[in-house]
C-alpha cells in the first residue's frame, strides 16, 4: 500500500528564513501522526504545504502514490482538488449556514446525488453527536460544538487524510480532553490518516501513533510517544517534552558530583563508557524520576508546594536548583529539611546544547 | 493589624440575592483563598472589600475600622481604603510606562517626590521587571503585564492585597511561575492576601487557608489546603478540588457492593452509619489507585491507557463500571503498567472517602 | 484611624452628569423635533390632518417625494454594486498597486458632492457643457449627446461620491475576516468562484447592507446635487422643494409649515431605513474576525489583471481628477464659456475670493463655526457617552434614545426645527445670526461624536478605572489621569468627523444663513445660482484646498499619535 503522505526534501522559505528545511517524512495509511514544536518552528507551515495553501520552494509531496506538489516539475495541485479534510484552530464554521448546511456543503460542491448528500451528512452529524443541533446556527453553539461541526464537515467527504491545525487550542481544558477522545473515536470509525499539529506535548502524546518534534524548521526526532519520552534525541526534545532538571555535573574517580557542590555527596547511577573528557556534561532527569531516600546525595528543601495529588519541591544542592514532584503518599520531606535523594534514571547531554525556552 | 471581618453581609443585584448573611474573617498576614465555581459570588466579596460595591446590609471591618455599614450610613470610597488590587485582565494603564504605572499610587497618596523613585524601583524589582521600567504595557507579554499590576498593588505600604483571578489569562507555564512568585512576595512582605479563583490547583498551591464556596454562595469548608484536600466535608468540595472518581455503593450482608453487585472495599468502622442507607458514595482520586500487573486489590479491565507526558491516564472497569486512574509515567514504565486496551490489571484503592448519596450542585461538574 | 465617610444618597456626580447630558440633548435635539411635529400636525392648537393630506396631494410636493425615492433607490443600487466590486477587487485579487488604489478610492469621500456636481454641469450640461460641445463638433452632432441635468445624471453623480460608504464597510469586513473561513471551503473542494458566491459575499452581507442603507439615508435628504443639476430643469426632491417653498415665499409661516410636513415624511423614511438596518444587522452580525492573522486566499486575475487595473484608474480619473481639475480650470477662466487656452486664464478670480467681502467672510464663518462646533460637540459627546457607557444611573435610556435620534434627522429637518425653535418662540431669537447655524450643527453632528466617543470608552475596561480608585485616586482624578488620556484618539477622531463635514456643509446652512452669515457652501451655491460660475469655481477650488489640508492633517496627526503610542 502506498504511503498516505510522502514528503521529500520539502523546504519553505519566507524572506531569508527557512521556515521548513529539507523535511523528509513518510506517513503510513491510518496512522495518527503529530507535528509537535514551539510556535514558529514550522509545523503549521508544513501542514499548510500538505493542504496546498502554500507551495513548496523545494521538494516533492506525494499522497497515496500520487504527486501533489513538486518544485522540480513545477507542479502544484490546488487545495480544492486534494480531497483532504481539514480542521482549523478558530473552527472556521460558516456562521451564515445551519449546522446541517455546513456539513453538507462539501458534498454539494462535489455534486453528489441528493439522497447521498442527505445520507452522508446525517451520518457525519450522528458520528459527532450533532443530530439534535442540525437546524441551528453555529453561533448559538458552544466552542466544543462548533469544533465538532468542523469535524463533521471534514468527515463527511470521507477523506483519506485529515489535517488538524491546533484544533483544541481555543477550547476550555476540560473540553479539550473530551474532544481528543472524540477525534480518536472518529479515526477508529472512519479509518482516515490523521496529521495533527500542536504545541501541547501531552495532547500529542495522547493522540499519536508516531510524532515528530521540530525546531526552527528542522526535524529533531521522529518516533512513538513512549520512545520520545524515554529516549529523547537531544536536550531540546527532552526539555520540550516535559518539566526537566538539568544538573551540571563533574565526574571524578568514577563518581558523579554536582558541579560546585562536591561536599554534598555523589549522585547514584551509571556513568556511560563513552563520555568525552573534554566536554562538560549536564545530567537530565524528570521531577518524578528522583526519590527521597534514606541515603544518597544531600539536598535542602527550599520550597514545598502542596498540589493535592502531587507535592512539588524545589531543592538545592549547593547552588544548583532542582524540582521534584512526588505523589503525596511518598512526599516525606518537609520545608527547610535536608534530605537524601536517589536518582532513578540519568541522561547525559553536552552542557552547551540548547534547551526549549520556557515561555 | 489588618484582619478582614465580614459580619452578616448581604448583597443583591437586580433583585437576585448573591450574598446572604455571610460572616467570616481573614487573619492578618495569611493568604486566604476563596475557591468556587464561576457565578458563585466570590468576586463580589472581593469587590465589597475593595469598595467597588456597597453591601445591602451587614458590616465589613478592615483592621479596627468599619469600612462599610449601610445601617450607619458608613461606606468608605475605594481610594480611601488603602488596598492593593490585581484584576484578571491586568488593568495596566496602556498609556503609562511600567514606571509610571507603578508610581501612580505614590503620587495619589502624596508620597514625597524623592521617595517615589526608590519605592517604585523596589516594587519593580520585587516582581522581576528590572530593565523594563520604560516600556509601555503593549510591549510586554501577558505575564509581564500582570507583574506590573502586581508591582502597582505592592508599591504602597498597604497591608492587604486583593487578587481577582490574576492568573486565569496566562498560559500554564507562566501560571506556575507567577504562583510561586506571589507566594514568595507574601512571605517577604507579610501582607494579608485575599485570592479569588476557580482554579483548585492555584488555590492548593498558594493558600494558608481555603474557603470553598458552593454555587449558593455559602462557604462549605474553610481549612488549610491539606485538610481540605484530604478530608473533604462533602461530595461537592471533594469533586471541586480535582479529578474525582465517584462510585455508587450499597451494603448487603456486611459487604460493600457496587451497583453491579461486585464486591468492593469494605466500609471502615467509622462510616458504618452509611451501611443502612440504600446508597452511598465511594470517592477517590485517580492518583490514589495503585495499579499493578499482578498484585493486591481488585481485578480490572483496561479500557483505555493514554500517555500524557509525565502522567499515564487509565480508564479501568470493574465488570462494566468504569473509573479513572493515574500514575506517574516514570513509575508506570518501571512497573511495566503501560497497557493495551483489553488487558487486565490489579487495582488497589489507597485512600477512599465515603459520603452519603448526595448529588447537590451536579450542574457544576457537567 | 481615619474618618468614616457617610454615603451620599442624594446627588452624586452621576446624577448631575445625567441631568446635564439630558438637558443638552433635549434643548438641541428634542425640542426642534417636537416643534416640527407640532407645526406639521397642529393648526391653532388643534390636531389637523386635513392640512397634511392637502399638502401631499399637491402635484409638486408629490412629485418631489417620488423623485427623492427614485434618486435614493438608484443611488443606493449603483453605489452598492460599485462599492462591493471595487472592495472585493482590492481585498481578494492580485490587482497591482493595491495600497495606492485603496487610498485613492477614499478620495471621493473628501470631495463635496455639490462642488463636483458643479464641475459636471460645466462639462456635460446640454447647452454649454464642454464635453458635449467637443463631442458635437467632433462627430457633427446637432444636439448634445449627454444630458447630465436629468434624473439619471443626478443618480450618476451622487453615486460617484457616495459609493465609498459601501466600499469602506465592505473592504473593512473583508480585511478583518478570518481567512480560514475561506480556506475551509477550499479544502472542501470549492473553487474560488464558488467560495466568493457561497461564503465570502454572504459573510460580508451585513456590511454591504449597512453601507447601502447609509447611502440611501444620505441620498434621500441630499440637497446639493439635485439643486445644482435638477432645479433648473424642474426636477425637485424633498430638500430642494422645501428650500424652494421657503425661499420663494420669503420664509412665510405657511411655507415653513409645508416644509415641516415634507420633513416629517423624510424623518419617517429615515426611521424606517434605520429600523431595517437594525433588523439586518441583528440577524446577521457574524463573528468573522480572525484569531491568527494570515493572508487570505487571493484570486489570480491572470490576463484580466491589467485591464481591471486600468478600469480602476479610469474610474478614478473620471470621478476624482476630471471634476477637480475642471473646478480649478474654471476658477481660472477670465469669463465663463471661453475655451481653456492660456490666454483666457488668470489668477485674478482666486485673488478676488480673498478680497470680496462676501467670500472672505464665508470662509471665516465656515472655519470658525466648524471649529467651534467640533470642539463643543466633541466635549459634550464625551460627557454623554461617559454617562451612557460607564455610569450606573437610572434614566440612562432617555440618553441612549436621544443620542441616536439625530441619526435619523436629515439636515433639512434639523434646519427647519432650528428655525422653529430659535426664532424667538422661547425667548431666544438667533434667526439670521451665526448662532442658529451653530446650534443646528451641534444637533446634526452630536450623533457622530457620541458614536466615536462611546466606541473609545467601551475599549476602556472598568477594571482600569477601578485599579486607579484602589490606588487612591478619586473619581475625578481617575477621569483626568486615566480615562481621558485613553480615549483621546476617539476624541480627536470625533473632532475631525465633525470639523470636516461641517466645513463644507450646505444642506442645513442653506436654510439658515443670513446676510452676514454665509458659509463656504452657501457662498459657492449662491454665486453659482447668480450665474457667477467662475467665481463660484474659484471659491470651490479654495474650499477643496482647505479640505485637503484638513484631511491630510487629520491623517498625519492620528498616524503620529498612533506611532508615539506604539514606539515610545
Q: How do residues C361-405 score in pLDDT, each as one tens digit?
A: 999 999 999 999 999 999 999 999 998 888 877 777 888 788 777
Residue A254's CB is within 10 A of a number of other CB atoms, namely: 7
Nearest CA in chain C to A164: C184
Question: Which cell goes with C103?
Answer: 487610498
Same domain, B235 and B311: no
Question: Domain boundary residue among C224, C249, C284?
Answer: C284
Non-local CB neighbours of C562 within 8 Å, separated by 6+ positions: C489
Q: How far apart are CA B62 and CA B9, in angstroms?
A: 14
Q: Is the pLDDT of residue C1 over 60?
A: no
Q: For residue range A149-166, what is the model confidence (pLDDT) as tens digits?
A: 999 999 998 999 999 999
Cα-based angle A308, B41, B224 (whole degrees, multiple of 5): 30
Q: How far apart are CA B296 and CA C365, in angstroms?
A: 97
Any domain includes C416: yes
Q: How far apart are CA A249 and CA A234, in angstroms?
A: 17
Non-local CB neighbours of C303 within 8 Å, separated by 6+ positions: none
Q: How far apart are CA C65 and CA C73, in angstroms?
A: 12
Same domain, B254 and B229: no
For residue C562, the model assigns a pLDDT of 61
Q: SS3 breakdown of chain B: % helix, strand, coil, rounded to 5? A: 30, 35, 35
Q: How far apart are CA C290 and CA A91, in angstroms?
A: 10
Any domain includes C386: yes
Would the CB atoms of B104 and C473 count as touching at under 8 Å? yes
Domain ranges of chain A: 5-238, 243-349
Pick the CATH number of A5-238 from 3.50.50.60, 3.40.50.150, 3.40.50.300, 3.40.1360.10: 3.40.50.300
Question: A245 in the Ramachandran plot: left (φ > 0), alpha (ψ -120 to 50) or beta?
Answer: beta
User: What is the distance in angstroms between the Cα of B86 and the nearest Cα belonging to chain C?
Assistant: 8
Question: Domain boundary residue among B239, B267, B293?
Answer: B239
Q: How far apart are CA C295 and CA B98, in angstroms?
A: 34
Q: How far apart are CA A20 and CA C204, in angstroms?
A: 35
DSSP 8-state symbol, C199: I
Cβ-based contacts of A110 with chain C (< 8 Å): 189
Any domain includes C3: no
Nearest CA in chain A to B142: A359
Pick from C377, C403, C374, C378: nearest CA to C30: C403
Cα-based angle A45, A48, A54 (whole degrees, multiple of 5): 90
Cβ-based contacts of A327 with chain B (< 8 Å): 287, 328
Instruction: Count how many pairs of residues, chain A against chain C, have C-beta atoms within 8 Å.
Output: 77
> Cell 450574598 maps to which residue?
B19
Q: How far apart are CA B334 and CA B344, in angstroms?
A: 18
Residue B337 at interface with chain A, using a CB cutoff of 8 Å? no
Interface of C with A in 168-207 (CB under 8 A): 178, 180-181, 183-191, 194, 198-199, 202-203, 205
User: What is the distance in angstroms between the Cα of A160 and the nearest Cα belonging to chain B?
Assistant: 25
For residue C46, the model assigns a pLDDT of 78
User: What is the distance in angstroms between the Cα of C361 and the nearest Cα belonging to chain B?
Assistant: 42
User: What is the distance in angstroms between the Cα of A166 and the nearest Cα belonging to chain C?
Assistant: 12
Question: Domain boundary residue among C284, C314, C346?
Answer: C284
Would the CB atoms of C7 and B54 count as touching at under 8 Å? yes
**A238, A241, A246, A249: CA torsion to nearest 10:** -30
pLDDT in tens, chain B (366 residues): 689 999 999 999 888 889 999 999 999 999 999 999 988 889 999 999 999 999 999 999 998 899 999 999 888 888 888 899 999 888 999 889 999 999 999 999 999 999 999 999 999 998 989 999 999 988 888 889 999 999 999 998 888 999 999 988 887 888 888 899 899 889 888 899 999 999 999 999 999 999 999 988 889 999 999 999 999 999 999 999 988 999 999 998 888 999 999 999 989 988 888 888 889 999 999 999 999 998 889 999 999 999 988 899 999 999 999 999 999 998 899 899 999 999 999 999 988 999 998 777 777 776
Same domain, C280 and C359: no
For residue B326, the model assigns a pLDDT of 94
Any domain includes C301: no
Of B285, B309, B334, the CB nearest to A241: B309
Cα-based angle C244, C250, C255 (whole degrees, multiple of 5): 60
Cβ-based contacts of B80 with chain C (< 8 Å): 2, 5, 472
Interface of C with B in 91-110 (CB under 8 A): none
Same domain, B286 and B332: yes
For residue C566, the model assigns a pLDDT of 46
Question: Domain boundary residue among C249, C284, C319?
Answer: C284
Same domain, C357 and C489: yes
| Global pTM exceeds 0.80 | yes
Q: How far apart are CA C19 and CA C15, in angstroms?
A: 6
ipTM of the complex: 0.87
Would the CB atoms of A80 and C191 count as touching at under 8 Å? yes
Would the CB atoms of A96 and C203 count as touching at under 8 Å? yes
Any domain includes C309: no
Q: The domain containing residue B86 runs over which residues?
A: 4-239
- Write down how long chain B is: 366
Would the CB atoms of A85 and C187 count as touching at under 8 Å? yes
Question: Which cell goes with C21?
Answer: 447630558
Q: For residue range C457-501, what is the model confidence (pLDDT) as tens digits?
A: 988 888 899 999 988 888 888 989 999 988 988 888 888 889 988
Cβ-based contacts of B104 with chain C (< 8 Å): 468, 471, 473, 481
Write the CATH number for B154: 3.40.50.300
The backbone torsions φ and ψ at residue C267, rounded to the nearest 5 degrees and listed phi first, read -60, -40
Pick from B350, B264, B334: nearest CA to B300: B264
> Cell 452580525 maps to which residue?
C285
Same domain, C421 and C508: yes
Cβ-based contacts of A305 with chain B (< 8 Å): 179-180, 183, 205
Q: What CATH class has A243-349?
A: mainly beta
Would the CB atoms of C5 and B74 count as touching at under 8 Å? yes
Cβ-based contacts of C480 with chain B (< 8 Å): none
Pick from C185, C186, C200, C121: nearest CA to C157: C121
Cβ-based contacts of A289 with chain B (< 8 Å): 330
For residue C286, the model assigns a pLDDT of 61
* C284 band by pLDDT with thresholds 50, 70 and 90: low
Would the CB atoms of A105 and C287 count as touching at under 8 Å? no
Cβ-based contacts of A285 with chain B (< 8 Å): none
Q: Is the pLDDT of residue C7 over 60?
A: no
Would the CB atoms of C189 and A106 count as touching at under 8 Å? yes
For residue A358, the model assigns a pLDDT of 47
Same domain, B144 and B189: yes
Best of C178, C181, C184, C206 to substitute, by most chain A Cβ atoms within 10 angstroms, is: C184
Instruction: Name the 3-class secondary structure at C476.
Output: helix
Write the CATH number for C236: 1.10.3720.10
Q: SS3 breakdown of chain A: % helix, strand, coil, rounded to 5? A: 30, 35, 35
**C396, C398, C401, C404: CA torsion to nearest 10:** -70
Instruction: Name the 3-class secondary structure at A311.
Output: strand
The backbone torsions φ and ψ at residue A202, rounded to the nearest 5 degrees and listed phi first, read -65, -40
DSSP string across A259-277: TT-GGG-EE-SPPPTT--T
Same domain, B186 and B256: no
Rounded to the nearest 10 degrees, the angle between the axes of helix C411-421 and helix C238-248 is: 30
Same domain, C213 and C347: no
Q: Is the pLDDT of residue C290 over 50?
A: no
Same domain, C68 and C166: yes
Any domain includes C204: yes
Number of structural domains in chain B: 2
The backbone torsions φ and ψ at residue C429, rounded to the nearest 5 degrees and listed phi first, read -115, 110
Q: Are strands C46-47 and B298-308 parallel, antiparallel or unpaired?
A: unpaired
> Cell 469544533 maps to which residue?
A147
For residue C564, the model assigns a pLDDT of 58
Q: How far apart are CA A202 and CA A208, in angstroms?
A: 10
Q: For residue range B213-260, what is the model confidence (pLDDT) as tens digits?
A: 998 888 999 999 999 999 999 999 999 998 899 999 999 888 899 999
Same domain, B93 and B105: yes
Q: Is the pLDDT of residue C229 over 70?
A: yes
Interface of C with A in 38-67 (CB under 8 A): none
Q: The domain containing residue C75 runs over which residues?
A: 35-116+161-284
Q: For residue range A163-192, what is the model confidence (pLDDT) as tens digits?
A: 999 999 888 877 888 889 889 999 999 999
Q: How far apart are CA A16 and CA C260, in angstroms?
A: 68
Question: Domain boundary residue among B213, B239, B265?
Answer: B239
Question: Domain boundary residue among B198, B217, B239?
Answer: B239
Same domain, B328 and B289: yes
Q: Which residues pair with B162 in a beta bridge?
A: B85, B194
Same domain, B259 and B219: no
Any domain includes C127: no
Q: Is the pLDDT of residue C11 over 70?
A: no
Interface of C with A in 273-312 (CB under 8 A): 284, 286-288, 290-292, 297
Q: For residue range A280-302, what is the model confidence (pLDDT) as tens digits?
A: 999 999 999 999 999 999 999 99
| A-contacting chains (≥3 CB pairs under 8 Å) | B, C
Number of structural domains in chain C: 2
Q: Is the pLDDT of residue C204 over 60?
A: yes
Any domain includes C308: no
Pick from B298, B306, B303: nearest CA to B342: B303
DSSP string across B2-69: --EEEEEEEEEETTEEEEEEEEEEE-TT-EEEEE--TTSSHHHHHHHHHTSS--SEEEEEETTEEEEE
Same domain, C204 and C346: no
Same domain, B287 and B233: no
Nearest CA in chain B to C469: B79
Q: Which residues pair with A252 in a beta bridge?
A: A255
Q: Are C257 and A64 in contact (CB under 8 A)?
A: no
Q: For residue range A255-287, what is the model confidence (pLDDT) as tens digits?
A: 999 998 999 999 998 898 888 888 999 999 999
Same domain, C279 and C341: no
Of C5, C467, C471, the CB nearest to B87: C467
Residue C470 at interface with chain B, using a CB cutoff of 8 Å? yes
Amino acid at each position: 500500500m502506498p504511503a498516505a503522505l510522502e514528503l521529500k526534501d520539502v523546504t519553505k522559505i519566507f524572506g531569508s528564513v527557512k521556515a521548513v528545511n529539507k523535511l523528509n517524512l513518510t506517513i503510513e495509511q491510518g496512522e495518527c501522526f503529530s507535528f509537535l514544536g514551539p510556535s514558529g518552528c514550522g509545523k503549521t507551515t508544513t501542514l499548510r504545504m500538505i493542504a496546498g495553501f502554500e507551495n513548496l520552494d523545494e521538494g516533492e509531496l506525494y499522497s497515496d502514490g500520487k504527486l501533489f506538489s513538486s518544485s522540480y516539475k513545477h507542479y502544484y495541485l490546488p487545495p480544492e482538488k486534494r480531497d483532504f479534510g481539514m480542521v482549523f484552530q478558530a473552527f472556521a464554521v460558516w456562521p451564515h449556514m445551519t449546522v446541517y448546511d455546513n456539513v453538507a456543503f462539501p458534498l454539494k460542491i462535489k455534486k453528489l446525488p441528493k439522497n447521498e448528500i442527505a445520507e452522508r451528512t446525517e451520518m457525519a452529524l450522528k458520528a459527532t453527536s450533532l443530530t439534535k443541533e442540525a437546524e441551528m446556527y453555529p453561533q448559538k453553539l458552544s466552542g466544543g460544538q462548533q469544533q465538532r461541526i468542523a469535524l463533521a464537515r471534514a468527515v463527511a467527504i470521507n477523506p483519506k487524510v485529515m489535517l488538524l491545525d491546533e484544533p483544541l487550542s481555543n477550547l476550555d481544558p476540560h473540553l479539550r480532553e473530551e474532544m481528543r477522545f472524540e477525534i480518536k473515536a472518529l479515526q477508529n470509525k472512519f479509518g482516515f490518516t490523521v496529521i495533527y499539529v500542536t504545541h501541547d506535548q501531552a495532547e500529542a502524546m495522547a493522540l499519536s501513533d508516531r510524532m515528530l518534534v521540530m525546531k526552527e524548521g528542522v526535524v529533531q526526532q521522529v518516533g512513538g510517544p513512549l520512545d520520545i519520552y524515554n529516549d529523547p534525541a537531544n536536550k531540546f526534545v527532552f526539555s520540550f517534552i516535559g518539566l526537566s532538571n538539568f544538573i551540571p555535573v563533574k565526574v571524578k574517580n568514577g563518581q558523579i558530583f554536582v558541579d560546585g557542590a562536591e561536599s554534598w555527596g555523589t549522585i547514584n547511577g551509571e556513568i556511560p563508557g563513552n563520555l568525552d573528557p573534554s566536554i562538560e556534561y549536564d545530567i537530565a532527569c524528570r521531577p518524578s524520576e528522583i526519590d527521597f531516600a534514606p541515603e544518597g546525595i544531600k539536598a535542602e528543601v527550599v520550597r514545598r508546594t502542596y498540589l493535592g495529588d502531587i507535592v512539588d519541591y524545589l531543592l538545592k544542592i549547593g547552588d544548583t536548583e532542582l524540582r521534584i514532584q512526588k505523589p503525596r503518599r511518598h512526599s516525606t520531606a518537609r520545608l527547610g529539611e535536608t534530605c537524601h535523594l536517589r536518582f532513578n534514571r540519568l541522561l547525559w547531554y553536552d552542557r552547551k546544547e540548547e534547551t526549549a525556552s520556557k515561555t | 493589624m489588618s484582619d478582614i471581618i465580614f459580619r452578616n453581609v448581604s448583597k443583591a443585584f437586580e433583585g437576585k440575592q448573591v450574598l446572604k448573611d455571610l460572616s467570616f474573617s481573614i487573619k492578618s498576614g495569611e493568604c486566604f483563598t476563596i475557591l468556587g465555581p464561576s457565578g458563585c459570588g466570590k468576586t463580589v466579596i472581593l469587590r465589597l472589600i475593595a469598595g467597588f460595591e456597597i453591601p445591602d446590609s451587614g458590616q465589613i471591618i478592615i483592621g479596627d475600622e468599619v469600612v462599610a455599614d449601610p445601617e450607619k450610613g458608613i461606606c468608605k470610597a475605594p481610594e480611601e481604603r488603602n488596598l492593593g488590587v490585581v484584576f484578571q485582565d491586568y488593568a495596566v494603564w496602556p498609556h503609562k510606562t511600567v514606571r509610571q504605572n507603578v508610581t501612580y499610587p505614590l503620587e495619589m497618596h502624596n508620597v514625597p517626590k524623592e521617595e517615589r523613585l526608590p519605592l517604585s524601583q523596589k516594587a519593580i524589582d520585587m516582581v522581576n521587571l528590572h530593565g523594563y521600567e520604560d516600556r509601555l504595557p503593549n510591549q510586554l507579554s501577558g505575564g509581564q503585564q500582570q507583574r506590573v499590576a502586581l508591582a502597582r498593588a505592592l508599591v504602597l505600604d498597604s497591608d492587604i492585597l486583593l487578587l481577582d483571578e490574576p492568573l486565569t489569562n496566562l498560559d500554564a507555564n507562566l501560571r506556575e511561575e507567577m504562583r510561586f512568585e506571589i507566594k514568595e512576595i507574601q512571605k517577604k512582605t507579610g501582607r494579608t492576601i485575599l485570592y479569588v479563583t476557580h482554579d483548585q490547583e492555584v488555590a492548593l498551591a498558594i493558600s494558608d487557608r481555603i474557603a470553598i464556596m458552593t454555587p449558593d454562595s455559602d462557604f462549605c469548608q474553610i481549612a488549610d489546603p491539606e485538610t481540605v484536600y484530604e478530608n473533604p466535608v462533602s461530595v461537592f468540595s471533594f469533586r471541586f478540588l480535582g479529578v474525582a472518581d465517584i462510585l455508587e455503593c450499597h451494603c448487603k450482608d456486611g459487604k460493600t457492593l457496587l451497583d453491579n453487585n461486585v464486591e468492593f472495599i469494605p466500609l471502615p468502622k467509622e462510616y458504618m452509619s452509611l451501611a443502612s442507607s440504600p446508597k452511598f458514595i465511594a470517592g477517590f482520586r485517580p492518583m490514589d489507585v495503585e495499579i499493578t500487573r499482578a498484585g493486591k486489590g481488585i481485578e480490572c479491565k483496561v479500557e483505555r491507557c493514554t500517555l500524557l507526558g509525565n502522567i499515564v491516564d487509565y480508564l479501568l472497569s470493574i465488570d462494566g463500571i468504569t473509573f479513572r486512574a493515574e500514575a506517574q509515567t516514570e513509575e508506570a514504565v518501571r512497573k511495566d503498567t503501560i497497557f493495551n486496551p483489553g488487558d487486565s490489571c490489579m487495582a488497589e484503592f489507597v485512600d477512599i472517602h465515603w459520603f452519603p448519596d448526595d448529588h447537590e450542585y451536579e450542574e457544576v461538574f457537567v | 484611624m481615619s474618618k468614616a465617610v457617610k454615603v451620599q444618597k442624594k446627588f452624586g456626580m452621576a446624577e448631575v452628569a445625567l441631568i446635564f447630558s439630558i438637558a443638552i440633548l433635549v434643548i438641541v435635539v428634542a425640542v426642534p423635533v417636537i416643534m416640527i411635529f407640532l407645526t406639521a400636525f397642529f393648526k391653532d392648537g388643534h390636531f389637523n390632518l386635513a392640512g397634511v393630506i392637502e399638502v401631499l396631494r399637491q402635484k409638486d410636493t408629490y412629485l418631489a417625494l417620488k423623485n427623492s425615492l427614485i434618486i435614493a433607490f438608484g443611488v443606493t443600487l449603483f453605489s452598492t454594486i460599485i462599492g462591493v466590486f471595487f472592495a472585493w477587487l482590492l481585498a481578494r485579487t492580485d490587482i497591482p498597486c493595491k495600497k495606492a488604489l485603496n487610498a485613492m478610492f477614499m478620495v471621493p469621500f473628501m470631495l463635496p458632492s455639490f462642488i463636483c456636481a458643479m464641475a459636471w454641469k460645466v462639462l456635460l450640461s446640454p447647452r454649454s457643457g464642454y464635453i458635449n460641445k467637443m463631442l458635437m463638433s467632433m462627430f457633427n452632432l446637432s444636439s448634445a449627446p449627454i444630458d447630465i441635468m436629468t434624473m439619471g445624471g443626478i443618480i450618476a453623480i451622487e453615486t460617484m461620491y457616495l459609493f465609498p460608504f459601501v466600499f469602506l464597510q465592505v473592504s473593512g469586513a473583508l480585511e478583518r475576516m478570518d481567512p480560514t473561513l475561506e480556506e475551509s471551503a477550499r479544502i472542501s473542494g470549492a473553487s474560488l468562484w464558488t467560495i466568493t458566491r457561497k461564503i465570502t459575499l454572504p459573510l460580508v452581507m451585513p456590511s454591504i447592507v449597512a453601507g447601502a442603507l447609509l447611502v440611501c439615508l444620505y441620498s434621500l435628504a441630499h440637497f446639493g446635487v439635485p439643486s445644482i443639476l435638477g432645479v433648473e430643469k424642474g426636477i425637485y426632491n424633498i430638500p430642494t422643494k422645501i428650500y424652494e417653498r421657503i425661499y420663494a415665499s420669503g420664509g412665510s409661516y405657511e411655507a415653513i409649515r409645508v416644509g415641516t410636513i415634507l420633513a416629517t415624511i423624510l424623518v419617517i423614511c429615515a426611521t424606517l431605513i434605520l429600523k431595517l438596518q437594525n433588523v439586518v444587522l441583528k440577524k446577521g452580525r457574524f463573528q468573522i474576525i480572525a484569531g491568527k492573522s494570515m493572508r487570505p486566499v487571493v484570486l489570480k486575475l491572470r490576463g484580466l489583471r491589467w485591464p481591471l487595473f486600468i478600469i480602476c484608474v479610469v474610474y478614478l480619473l473620471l470621478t476624482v481628477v476630471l471634476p477637480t481639475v475642471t473646478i480649478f480650470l474654471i476658477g481660472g477662466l477670465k469669463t465663463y464659456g471661453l475655451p481653456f487656452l492660456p490666454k483666457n486664464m488668470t489668477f485674478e478670480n482666486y485673488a478676488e475670493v480673498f478680497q470680496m467681502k462676501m467670500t472672505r467672510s464665508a470662509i471665516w464663518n465656515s472655519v470658525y463655526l466648524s471649529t467651534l462646533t467640533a470642539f463643543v460637540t466633541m466635549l459634550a459627546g464625551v460627557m454623554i457617552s461617559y454617562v451612557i457607557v460607564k455610569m450606573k444611573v437610572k434614566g440612562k435610556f432617555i440618553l441612549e434614545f436621544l443620542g441616536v435620534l439625530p441619526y435619523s434627522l436629515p439636515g433639512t429637518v434639523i434646519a427647519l426645527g432650528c428655525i422653529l425653535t430659535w426664532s424667538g418662540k422661547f425667548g431666544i431669537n438667533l434667526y439670521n445670526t451665526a448662532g442658529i447655524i451653530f446650534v443646528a450643527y451641534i444637533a446634526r453632528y452630536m450623533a457622530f461624536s457620541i458614536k466615536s466617543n462611546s466606541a473609545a470608552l467601551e475599549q476602556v475596561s472598568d477594571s482600569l478605572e477601578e485599579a486607579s480608585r484602589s490606588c487612591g485616586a478619586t473619581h475625578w482624578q481617575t477621569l483626568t489621569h486615566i480615562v481621558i488620556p485613553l480615549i483621546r484618539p476617539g476624541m480627536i477622531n470625533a473632532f475631525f468627523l465633525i470639523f470636516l463635514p461641517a466645513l463644507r456643509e450646505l444642506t442645513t446652512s442653506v436654510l439658515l444663513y443670513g446676510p452676514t452669515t454665509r458659509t463656504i457652501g452657501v457662498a459657492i451655491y449662491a454665486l453659482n445660482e447668480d450665474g457667477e460660475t467662475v467665481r463660484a469655481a474659484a471659491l470651490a477650488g479654495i474650499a477643496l484646498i482647505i479640505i485637503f489640508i484638513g484631511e491630510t492633517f487629520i491623517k498625519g496627526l492620528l498616524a503620529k499619535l498612533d506611532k508615539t503610542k506604539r514606539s515610545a
